[in-house]
Amino acid sequence: MAKLILSMDGLVLKELPLAKERTTIGRKPHNDIQIDNLAISGEHAVIVTILNDSFLEDMNSTNGTYVNGQPIKKHFLQNNDVVELGKYRLKYINETPTVAQSPDFEKTMVLRPDMMRKAPTDAPPAPAPARSQTDTQTGFRPGQSMPAGSSLGGSGLPPPPPPLAPPPPAASANQVGAIQILNGANAGRELELTKTLTTLGKPGLQVAVITRRPQGYFITHVEGANMPIVNGRQLDAQAHPLEDHDVIEIAGVKMEFFIKR
């Protein structure tokens, strides 16, 4: 269960488990956490806890509620967050088992209606949330000889670095590859392969894709009657791992693949 550690001037005063769905904080005695100090409003803040998540909300207090030094109105508490009210500090501790330790933790479960009724419904509607970016981690994992897929494009940001669980990524995961065009009108042009997929060629004629994976770069045929040629040899339908200085030929255009850094 999540808990708060109340301290002032570096001195720990007490530990407060977040056992209730609504934990109120304020100067007045009816609060779950009473802090009898004039800098604290009568009803200062509230913490709503739903299963493993806790949300802190400032109740329009006079002196405000701060989390990690920033004033907040509403905040989704994360492990080790420090909540400041006047001179008092509340450290939020929520040590749930990490995914790495128990894969079953992520198993989907049904939340029954009787559980739902306990959830508070008084939360005011918030401004339209930012566009969804589904959670991702980049990991490792060798093996798997599935064909890689991919798209041509200009530059792009490199994939986000891997936080969380899995073992350290293979060395190649940090490498950035690039291709340089060797002939034709665009000769000399260079393209960094920072995206997970980059397609090359002409749609409808011949397209291949270079995929960026934890274990390196792979090239795969996408469409067209002709397969890509690497170092003079025509590929089959399988993904083909790319080595530094491989020469690729697609739709008559030759290009060199190389590891940039």
Partner 1 sequence: MTWDLGQALQMVSRTHSGMVRTHNEDAVFAQPGVGLAILADGMGGYNAGEVASGMATAVIGAELAQGLQEAKHGVSQLLESVIGRANSAIYQAAESQPQYSGMGTTLVMAVFRDNHISVAHIGDSRMYRLRDGAFECVTRDHSLLQEQIDSGMITEEDARRSQNKNLVTRALGVDPEVEPEIHTYEVVPGDVYLFCSDGLNDMVENDDIALTLQALSANLDLAAEQLVQMANDNGGRDNVSVILVRVLQAFPATERGLLARLLAWLK
Question: From the list 14, 30, 107, 117, which residue makes contact with partner 1 (rule: CB under 8 A)?
Answer: 107
CA angle 35, 75, 79 (to 5 degrees): 80
Q: Which one, 96 or 180, has the nearer CB to partner 1?
A: 96
Q: How far apart are CA 147 and CA 142, in angstroms?
A: 14
Q: What is the DSSP string of 166-199?
A: SPPPPGGGG--EEEEE-SSTTTT-EEEE-SSEEE
The helix or strand, by DSSP H or E, that contains position 15, with its residue range, turns out to be strand 11-17
Contact pattern for partner 1 over residues 2 through 41, marking x by CB under 8 A: ----------------------------------------
Binding range to partner 1, per CB under 8 A, among 22-30, 82-90, 127-135, 250-258 = 127-135
Q: How far apart are CA 197 and CA 217, in angstroms?
A: 10
Binding range to partner 1, per CB under 8 A, among 7-15, 19-27, 60-68, 114-122 = 114-122
Q: How far apart are CA 256 and CA 190, in angstroms?
A: 9
Q: How far apart are CA 80 and CA 147, in angstroms?
A: 42
Whether residue 40 contacts residue 88, with contact meaning beta carbons closer than 8 Å, is answered with: yes
Residues in Cβ contact with 201 at an 8 Å cutoff, skipping those fewer than 6 apart = 152, 207, 208, 222, 224, 250, 251, 253
171 near partner 1, rule: CB under 8 A: no
CB of 23 to partner 1, least distance (A): 16
Binding range to partner 1, per CB under 8 A, among 6-14, 27-35, 101-109, 184-192 = 101-109
Q: How far apart are CA 144 and CA 40, in angstroms?
A: 58
Q: Which one, 64 or 149, has the nearer CB to partner 1?
A: 149
Contact pattern for partner 1 over residues 222 through 261, marking x by CB under 8 A: xx--------------------------------------
Write out the binding residues for partner 1, residues 37-96 only, by CB under 8 A.
Answer: 48, 50-53, 55, 76, 78, 94, 96
The site that binds partner 1 (CB under 8 A) totals a number of residues, namely 66
Q: How far apart are CA 88 and CA 14, in angstroms?
A: 12
Q: Which one, 50 or 187, has the nearer CB to partner 1?
A: 50
Residues in Cβ contact with 44 at an 8 Å cutoff, skipping those fewer than 6 apart = 25, 26, 27, 31, 35, 58, 59, 61, 65, 85
Amino acid identity of residue 83, one-letter, is V
Binding range to partner 1, per CB under 8 A, among 17-25, 26-34, 116-124, 179-187 = 116-124
Question: From the list 10, 14, 69, 111, which residue makes contact with partner 1 (rule: CB under 8 A)?
Answer: 111
Binding residues for partner 1 (CB under 8 A): 48, 50-53, 55, 76, 78, 94, 96, 99, 103, 106-112, 116, 119, 121, 123-127, 129-139, 141, 144, 146-153, 159-160, 164-166, 195-197, 199, 203, 207, 209, 211, 213-214, 220, 222-223
